Amino acid sequence: MTIITPDEIKARLDAGETLHLVDVREPHEHAEFNIGGHLIPLGNIQTMMTDEIDELKSEEVVCYCRSGKRSMQACMMLETFGFTNVKNLEGGMLNWQEKFGQ
């Protein structure tokens, strides 16, 4: 797992790059504000190991949550499932909103 900054993600999104973003927050948090990530709450990561996400094992996957703690756990779990390029958004959505607003 590596760390990726909000600035890096925003620049790549602004450039039109398609990223595999995984939001590991709860549905109500995702509904309040999100950056387009696929919602898979942390508690559901293991049960969501379907073809939908399993096919991303060799792709870059960026996990994010509110502060970066749950997404760090998700990154570690994905690595144990064989994902090879997992990144954690530094500071999560709190950091993103501090830098870029809603």
Q: Is 63 a catalytic residue?
A: no
Per DSSP, 62 falls in state E
Rounded Cα gap, residues 37 and 92, in angstroms: 12
Helix (H/G/I), strand (E/B), else coil: 90: coil
* Of 40, 65, 74, 89, catalytic: 65
Q: Are 89 and 64 in contact (CB under 8 A)?
A: yes
Query: Catalytic positions, please?
Result: 65
